Structure formats: C-alpha cells, structure tokens
With several copies, the nearest count.
Chain A
Amino acid sequence: MPFIPHTEEDIREMLAVIGVDSIDELFDEIPPGLRCGTLDKIPEGLSEMEISRLMQARAKEDGQPLCFIGAGAYDHHIPAAVWQLATRGEFYTAYTPYQAEASQGTLQLLYEFQSMMTALTGMDVSNTSLYDGASALAEAVLMAVRANRKSKSKRILVPRTLHPSYRKVVDAIVRNQQIELVEVPYDQVSGRTNLVELDGFSGEDFAALVIPQPNFFGVLEPVDELTDWAHANGMLTIGVVNPLALAILKPPGEWGVDGADICCGEGQPLGAPLASGGPYFGILCSTQKLVRQMPGRIIGRTLDLDGKTGYALTLQAREQHIRRSKATSNICTNQGLVVTAATIHMALLGAQGLERTAAACLASTQKLTEALTSLQGVEPVFEGAVFHEKVLRLPISPKDALKLLAAHNLLGGYDLGGEYPELGNAVLVCATELRTDDDIETYRSKLERVIQTQIQTPCQLKPDW
C-alpha cells in the first residue's frame, strides 16, 4: 500500500481499540445510498519506476525548443543553489507558519523577502506573495478601491499597454464587485501610454491608474508623468513592474513627486523556472499608509519571552481566518515555496547580479532586434526604449512564420495579431541573458529562410528544407 504504513497487525489493533470490525464500518454515517463503488475509470496505481518512465516520455515529447518568447514569463539563469535549498524538506514540506516558534526558518526568510522587495521597489511594505502577477494586480485594484476614500466611482484606468491577460484576470476578479476597468489608449509611434488621450480623463472620478513598467510591448512608460497626473487627479497609482527590471529602472517608490501608492508584479524573473507558467508569485508592495489594506501574509519582527528576536505572522486581523467576510481578501495559501526560492535567488545575485542580468537582457534584446531587422521587411514597430522584449513587424503573417519556426524547434515570439490587430503583422520577441549570439544568429537565419519561402510560396504547409 504505497504511502500507508499500517501493518495487518496495526489495523487489527486499531480497529479493536475503536470497537469496530472493519475499516468500512467507520464510514457508517454516510447514507448507504451515497456510497460510491470502485473508481473504475481511474487507471491502476503505478510504481515510482513506472510513473518516472511515463513522465520522462511526456517531458521529452515537448522537446526543448530554442525560446524567444517573453510576454510575461522570462527564461533566466537560476543558480543551482536556489532550488537545491528551496526543496529541502524543511522548507518544502512545512505549512504556513501558524506556529511561529516552530517555523522561524520560513518566517525569518519571509521577513528577509519583505526587506528585499521593499528595497527593490522603493516602497515601504511588502506582503509575502499573491498567486501571480495578474492576480496581484487584481488585489491591488481592490485595495485601491478600498483605500481611495476620495473616489466613489469604483472605476480604474487601465492602459491598453498592460499585458492583455492581466486585463482579463483583473476584470474576471473585480467585476463581481462592480468595479469597472476603463482602457487608456497608447501612442502608435512610441508604444507608450498616450498622455494626451489620458488627459482626456482629467477631472473624472477614478480610484486608481495602473502603470505597467515596462509595458506589454517591452516599452518603458513615462512613469513620472503618469504618477503625477494620477495624483493630481485624486487617483492612486498602481505600478505593475518586472522586479528584475527594477534593478536598473527607477523604483515605483520614486516615481513622480510622491511615488506610486501600490506596486505589484510577477515575481517569476527572480528564480522561478518557466515551467509552463507556474508556480510563480505575485508581488505586492505599498506605502506604509496602506498596510492595513494589504491582502496576504505579512511577517513582523518581534521579541520572545526572553527578549530575543523572533518572527511571526502579523496584522492577521486583515486576514480571512480571523476576519472572515470582512477580510481584505480571501487569500490563504500563497506561493511560499517560490518566494523561498526568490529570496535565496536575490541573496545570491545581490543588487549587482540583478543589475548585470538586467543589463545583459537589454543587450541581448538589442542584438536580437538588430539581427532580425537586418532582414528585408522586418522592422521595429515602436520607437520607445525597451526592456526584455521588442515588437517587430514581419513581412509575412506572424502566425505562419511562428508555425514554421516552431517546426524547426524554435519559438519565435508572441503573435500580437489576436490582441492588437491594429499593429499589423506584429510579433513580440524576447532574448534574455541566456540567449547567446549563436542562438540569435540561428533565429536570424531561420527567419530569413522562412520569409523567403513564404514570400515565394505562401502558406505552404510543410516546409521542405
């Protein structure tokens, strides 16, 4: 019986103590008619050897294509130490640290995490994670609506340059509370949020303005202007940031005159592998003023009976297990293990390591842009400075191009046709520090052939080189 330690003798003794004849008798409070039979359609159990074989085959099936997609998930070097340590049983198999004295390892680590996140974002306080970047933004929006006492509207300004999935997730989560997201258009030349059009909303009642940095196109937004505009108009500002980019970019706490009020983002670039999109973790930081509006776990440093330093969950009165229907959020389980990894990751890289990584990404994307735009008909779509990724226009349909590239085990980027049809044949490409010059040349030469072939014989189904 895998994972069951009971011997026949144990079972006999235990049943005797309880005073029943069989294990089945223990289920006698379940109305007999409801008892289910065997679970026939579930396959029989596999040994570890068998499941290993199966999973190895499946993992192999998906290949390991050379990847130039970013679009919210980025392929970075993760020090070997990070997950070797994070998966130590004591971290990996502990619960949420409800018994502080028996969880000082996790608690101190989380306090360090909070310190690192506030250092990176320039904000006052940090929680210890939400599910992911998108759901973190949803919580930030709810927080802003609660916190902005001046606003009555339950409306939020959201730039169209924000990651489309984030817009969808936020909408799915907040619309049940009658919160409305209002789209702010972008400038077709720079790829930035259009300040002029934004100004059209001046004087209207919005609880907050969302500011992505970089935005979904990789383009850097004019965060100072946006922040100051929002504040001038009685709105809170919510930064949506890439924490790795913050190693070199102005932190939200310093945006504009007063800094952002809330900042959130996807923690994945800090030590989480791509892994099909999760588990990652959502970052949420804010000003001290808003700390009691924060959702999620927060760790405080305190003293024990002997006056020795220790760490514990704090401000629990915000949380569902104490406050129930009046809690700041329903979140309970968060992304603790990934946060553990991220904390170790940041300790290992330090500010310098993150800066170098960010700068290397910048350089890679620049090289990639140069290599690809050297091809006839491939050109950058926007002028603005970028981080991590770049929008390029192709001379052929991105859908076909990406498909043909994939057939050659290369993932060429994210097709913007679905979400941003106004951009024409646009594709979002990304090269992190892991992509070498050789990799970039591989992409260039494959794309060259794909374009040639497609222009000569468009829509050919099976390329024959």
Chain B
Amino acid sequence: MLIYEQSRPGRHAPAQAPQEMADLSAIPESLRREQSAKLPEVSEMQAVRHYTRLSQKNFSIDTHFYPLGSCTMKYNPRAGNSLASLPGLLARHPHAPETHSQGFLACLFDLQEILKQVTGMHAVSLTPAAGAQGEFAGVAMIRAYHDARGDAQRTEILVPDAAHGTNPASAVMCGYAVREIPTGSDGDIDVDALKQVLGPQTAGIMLTNPSTVGVFERRIEEIAQLVHAAGGLLYYDGANLNAILGKVRPGDMGFDVIHMNLHKTFSTPHGGGGPGAGPVGVSQRLEPYLPIPMVDFDGHDYRWLTEDDRPHSIGRLSAFAGNAGVLIRAYIYARMLGRDGMHRVSEFSTLNANYLLKRLMEAGFDAAYPERRASHEFILTLKRQAKELGVNTMDFAKRLLDYGVHAPTTYFPLLVPECLLIEPTETEAKEELDRFIEVMQIIQQEAQTDPEQVKQAPHSLPVKRLDDVRAARELDLTWVK
C-alpha cells in the first residue's frame, strides 16, 4: 500500500511542524501557491510504520549476501554512520569559515593524503560526487590538458568494449567521440586493435584494471607506453580498486588520472542508489586542472583551495564540496583499516573470488576466462544452460533471490553472453560462499528437472517477477488519486 493510500484529508503529524501558521502577506498573492501540494496526510506512527515495513522488503548487505559484480557490496562499518553523525559534523554549514572548520578540513586533508598513497598519484581532489562525476572530471582534465597545449585535434576517447557504461557516457559529456576497443579471448585488451586506432586524434583511453571482465590486464605497461607515445593520456576507472588495494598502484602502472569509488572500495554505504563519492587523483602534469575545492595544509592550518589558488582548474562540480558526509565515512574506514588493512582488502577479496570461481567450475559451471586468475570478481557464462535447458541468466538470478542471495550482476559486461559477474568481497565468510555454491548447484538441478520453477522465479518475495516491458510502455510514474 502506498503512503498516499493511507492519507486522509486533515490528518497530520503535528509534532513535526511549527505550532502555528505564520503570516504570508509579505509574499505577493500572484507568487503564492493556490492549493496545497498533494502530499500524503498521515500520522507520525503511520509514516514510521509504513517506512519500517517498506524497508523490510529490501535485500541489503545488512541482511543478505550480495555478490553484485563491479559494485563491491561489502560490510559498511556502523561506526562510519555514528561518527559522521556527530552533532558537530552534522551542524557544520558549508560556508562556515576556516576558523570553524579545522577539524573537518583535517579529515579531508588526511583522506587526500591516504588516497594519494594508495593510488600512487601526485594529487587528489575529493569533490566529485560519485564515480561518474569522477570520470567526467578526469576526462575534462584530459581535455583541459590538451587544450592548454593547443592540441585541438584530439577528439577521441578509447574505451574497451567491456567498460562500464559510465565510461563512454562521461567521455561524451566532455565532448569527445568514443571508440571501442575489443577484448581478446583471454580477457585482456586486444593490443593490436588498440595500435590500429591510436593516433593524433586520440585524447586518451579509459581503462579499469583489473578490468570489468574480472582479470588483470597483463600488458598494461605496454598499453601505457603505446597510448603515451601516441600523445594520449590514460584514465583509470577506480571502481575496481578493491582488487588491488596495497598490491599495485594505478600511478605506477602509468595512469595519468584516476577516479575512485569510495562507496565501493572505502565501504561507505550505497543507500539504495547513493550517495557516493568519486575523488580524482592525477599525475603531476594534470594537477593544475583538478576540480575545486581542495584542502591544503601549511603545517598549522587547513584551508580551502579555490578559484584564486587554482586558476586552471576545470572548476566546480557541486555547489559546495561534494558529498562531504560520504568522504567522512570513507576517512573513518580508511583509518580503521590502516596500512595493513588496505592490503587485506585486496588479498581476501581475491581469495574469496578465486575460491568461489574454482568451486563453481568444479560444480560444472563455465567461467568466461577459465585460464585466468580471478581478481576480486569473475564471470560465469550460462550460455550452455540457456541453450540446452532454456533457463537463462535472468532466471538463475531471480531464483537466487528465492534462496536469500542477491543476484550477481547480470548481462554485464555485454561482450560475454548470458553472463553473471560475481563479486563476493572480502567481508563474506567461507560458509557464505559455500552456501552460494550449494544454491547454484540446486538451481542448476532445478533447471534440469523443473525448469518452470526457475523461469517463474522468484516465488517467495513480496512480488513475483515484474513486467518491465509494461512499466516502460504504460508509464505510471506518479500516484494519482
């Protein structure tokens, strides 16, 4: 039932509003609202009960195993929320003067330094609000760099066909044309194909390593050399940083610019769709272009770096300084991990992924790249099942829900047919992985003996399989009485 369906004219939660209606006469009639907005009219308890019950209809990290590939659904330490919600932090106005911001700025500065360390980049700006905005900022810096050199012919950004959709979309938002690079059958980029498209029109390439097919791009040094030789820059999509934290640094691999998804690697919660934080790190030559504001420290005081300090900046990406509260959570997590904890993230996420891959292969599932090590994630393809049993990846995914497991990422990357991208993360215990394997085997069995059971799944959730086509065709986007 919608909250609107519990609404009754004249019902309220009056403790939540000023007790009286103040005078509006200072506002000219012509600018005033004639009719009250149609918001729900419910009691305080009705709202609390409604949203409490709604929440119970979600799968989440706090309730379910959630091996959603590329999304790094790991444990979000609860201290992050408590400490980011300390009254002093919640009450701070974004325009508070630096005299009243030293504690807050110290956290941001420290975080900048930590991110520089783990990425091997020269400088970091924290301001992008999510991964995609980080990508935008990164590509915009590549553009600013070429522009500053008067190098106007570079109109193209290269993107592997396996790349996350935000990569090409971000390049386009920066005014670039996008050209796709194919992935080889071993999961690495097809370097020959790359060579053929590199040229004076190449502004740069966007990679993630380990790539979105879940393997480490072994020829990364050669690729970096080729792109640089062609005058292009290398962009690192850091959504997969979880895989390599403390093991290999994008800066050392030759990347010029990187964004990080703190809401993945640094374990700030996803909140059912955000907020995130997508800081960018750059090599020395891109530093002047970093988005503002950034935080500086002179040994005594912390201060904002703004337009005056950074005239070549690509500018501001949000009205204030991005998702400050997410940055604080990431900072807390980073400090709790410490230097050794960083290593453990990649070690155990990789251990979990390789274990899961191996056991699933033993159980008869097909890996997309069976010869390769898994990174923190890996791909299965259910092509065979789809062909032989008529049970496809979507069906497997939905049936997993019935067993209390959130489905892995499905049908991404696009180049692997009927794929499942599986990322267990380092915070899941072996028993949980074993249970996943068991459930996958059960579903495989069901697919053979009772395929309809799988194809009609889920059966035990608040709704059965939803009609997406209808949703798009008969658009119903708002409640109308």
Touching chains A and B, CB distance < 8 Å:
yes
Is there an interface contact between B22 and A362, defined as CB atoms closer than 8 Å?
yes
**A183 contacts the other chain (Cβ, under 8 Å)?**
no
CA distance A142 to B477 in the complex (A): 22
Is there an interface contact between B478 and A114, defined as CB atoms closer than 8 Å?
yes
CB distance from B175 to the nearest CB of A (A): 4
Which of the candidate stretches B88-96, B194-202, B443-451 sits at the interface with the other chain?
B88-96
Sorting the interface of chain B by its residue count into under 10, 10 to 19, 20 to 34 or 35 or more gives 35 or more
Residues of B contacting A94 in the complex (Cβ-Cβ under 8 angstroms): 58-61, 270-272
Is there an interface contact between B276 and A333, defined as CB atoms closer than 8 Å?
yes
Give the interface centre of A92, A163, A332 by most chain B CB atoms within 10 Å. Answer: A332
CB distance from A411 to the nearest CB of B (A): 6
Is there an interface contact between A23 and B350, defined as CB atoms closer than 8 Å?
yes
**B48 contacts the other chain (Cβ, under 8 Å)?**
yes
Within 8 A of A (CB), among B5-63: 8-24, 26-28, 30-34, 36-48, 50-52, 54-63
Contact indicator per residue, chain A 89-103, by CB within 8 Å of chain B (1) or not (0): 111111111111111
Is there an interface contact between A34 and B221, defined as CB atoms closer than 8 Å?
yes
CA distance A112 to B3 in the complex (A): 7
**B464 contacts the other chain (Cβ, under 8 Å)?**
yes
Residues of A contacting B270 in the complex (Cβ-Cβ under 8 angstroms): 93-96, 333, 336
CA distance A332 to B458 in the complex (A): 26
Within 8 A of B (CB), among A137-176: 142, 163, 165-166, 168-169, 171-173, 176
Partner of A360, one of B22, B66, B90: B22
Which of the candidate stretches A123-131, A203-211, A441-449, A457-465 sits at the interface with the other chain?
A123-131
CB distance from A70 to the nearest CB of B (A): 9
Residues of A contacting B12 in the complex (Cβ-Cβ under 8 angstroms): 1, 350, 352-353
CA distance A18 to B348 in the complex (A): 13
**A7 contacts the other chain (Cβ, under 8 Å)?**
yes
Is there an interface contact between A176 and B79, defined as CB atoms closer than 8 Å?
no
Residue in chain B with minimal CB distance to A387: B27
Which of the candidate stretches A49-57, A194-202, A228-236, A374-382 sits at the interface with the other chain?
A49-57
Residues of A contacting B261 in the complex (Cβ-Cβ under 8 angstroms): 333
Is there an interface contact between B318 and A131, defined as CB atoms closer than 8 Å?
yes
**B364 contacts the other chain (Cβ, under 8 Å)?**
no
Is there an interface contact between B170 and A63, defined as CB atoms closer than 8 Å?
no
Partner of B33, one of A246, A278, A299, A303: A246
A91 in contact with B131 given A58-B104, A73-B95, A131-B318 (CB within 8 Å): no
Residues of A contacting B339 in the complex (Cβ-Cβ under 8 angstroms): 38-40, 42-45
**A189 contacts the other chain (Cβ, under 8 Å)?**
no
Residues of B contacting A266 in the complex (Cβ-Cβ under 8 angstroms): 319
**B316 contacts the other chain (Cβ, under 8 Å)?**
yes
Partner of A80, one of B43, B79, B132, B263: B79
CA distance A151 to B62 in the complex (A): 50
Is there an interface contact between B22 and A359, defined as CB atoms closer than 8 Å?
yes
Residues of B contacting A409 in the complex (Cβ-Cβ under 8 angstroms): 100
**A6 contacts the other chain (Cβ, under 8 Å)?**
yes
Residues of A contacting B124 in the complex (Cβ-Cβ under 8 angstroms): none
Contact indicator per residue, chain A 225-266, by CB within 8 Å of chain B (1) or not (0): 000000000000000000000111111001000000000001
CB distance from B40 to the nearest CB of A (A): 5
Residue in chain A with minimal CB distance to B83: A55
**A273 contacts the other chain (Cβ, under 8 Å)?**
yes
**A8 contacts the other chain (Cβ, under 8 Å)?**
yes
Is there an interface contact between A80 and B83, defined as CB atoms closer than 8 Å?
yes
Is there an interface contact between B471 and A362, defined as CB atoms closer than 8 Å?
no
Residues of B contacting A281 in the complex (Cβ-Cβ under 8 angstroms): 275
Residues of A contacting B342 in the complex (Cβ-Cβ under 8 angstroms): 39, 42
Is there an interface contact between A81 and B463, defined as CB atoms closer than 8 Å?
no
Is there an interface contact between A247 and B37, defined as CB atoms closer than 8 Å?
yes
**A61 contacts the other chain (Cβ, under 8 Å)?**
yes
Is there an interface contact between B478 and A115, defined as CB atoms closer than 8 Å?
yes
Residues of A contacting B344 in the complex (Cβ-Cβ under 8 angstroms): 1, 4
**A289 contacts the other chain (Cβ, under 8 Å)?**
no
Residues of A contacting B136 in the complex (Cβ-Cβ under 8 angstroms): 173, 330
CA distance A409 to B95 in the complex (A): 14
Residues of A contacting B299 in the complex (Cβ-Cβ under 8 angstroms): none
Instruction: Give the A-B contact count at a CB cut-off of 8 A.
Output: 753
**B154 contacts the other chain (Cβ, under 8 Å)?**
no
A71 in contact with B318 given A95-B66, A299-B477 (CB within 8 Å): no
CA distance A396 to B31 in the complex (A): 34
**A433 contacts the other chain (Cβ, under 8 Å)?**
yes
Within 8 A of B (CB), among A1-43: 1-11, 13-15, 17-20, 23-24, 26-31, 33-36, 38-43
Is there an interface contact between B45 and A5, defined as CB atoms closer than 8 Å?
yes
Count A-side interface residues using an 8 Å CB cutoff.
213
CA distance A433 to B323 in the complex (A): 25
**B435 contacts the other chain (Cβ, under 8 Å)?**
no
A347 in contact with B51 given A11-B351, A35-B248 (CB within 8 Å): yes
Partner of A385, one of B26, B91, B335: B26
CB distance from A249 to the nearest CB of B (A): 6
Residues of B contacting A309 in the complex (Cβ-Cβ under 8 angstroms): 463
Contact indicator per residue, chain A 74-112, by CB within 8 Å of chain B (1) or not (0): 010101110111111111111111111111111011111
CB distance from B18 to the nearest CB of A (A): 4
A118 in contact with B478 given A44-B340, A47-B16, A92-B60 (CB within 8 Å): yes
CB distance from A175 to the nearest CB of B (A): 8
Residues of B contacting A277 in the complex (Cβ-Cβ under 8 angstroms): 94, 318-322, 324
Residues of B contacting A300 in the complex (Cβ-Cβ under 8 angstroms): 471-472, 475-477
Residues of B contacting A351 in the complex (Cβ-Cβ under 8 angstroms): 36-39, 41
Residues of B contacting A92 in the complex (Cβ-Cβ under 8 angstroms): 60, 62, 76, 81, 269, 271
Partner of A347, one of B42, B83, B267: B42
CA distance A302 to B328 in the complex (A): 38
CA distance A367 to B40 in the complex (A): 31
Residues of A contacting B66 in the complex (Cβ-Cβ under 8 angstroms): 95
**B397 contacts the other chain (Cβ, under 8 Å)?**
yes
Is there an interface contact between B44 and A348, defined as CB atoms closer than 8 Å?
yes
Residues of A contacting B269 in the complex (Cβ-Cβ under 8 angstroms): 92-93, 337
Is there an interface contact between A348 and B16, defined as CB atoms closer than 8 Å?
yes
Residues of B contacting A101 in the complex (Cβ-Cβ under 8 angstroms): 398, 401, 458, 461-466
CA distance A68 to B19 in the complex (A): 22
What would 6 A/B residue contacts be, using CB atoms closer than 8 Å?
A10-B8, A47-B19, A83-B85, A85-B55, A131-B133, A349-B17
In addition to A7-B11, A42-B114, A129-B274, 17 A-B residue pairs with Cβ atoms within 8 Å of each other are: A5-B11, A8-B10, A10-B8, A30-B244, A45-B335, A51-B83, A89-B61, A93-B61, A105-B55, A165-B316, A249-B27, A300-B475, A325-B168, A330-B135, A331-B132, A349-B39, A403-B97
The 10 lowest CB-CB distance pairs between A and B, nearest first, are A45-B338, A337-B271, A277-B320, A336-B273, A89-B62, A172-B315, A277-B94, A59-B88, A58-B103, A61-B103
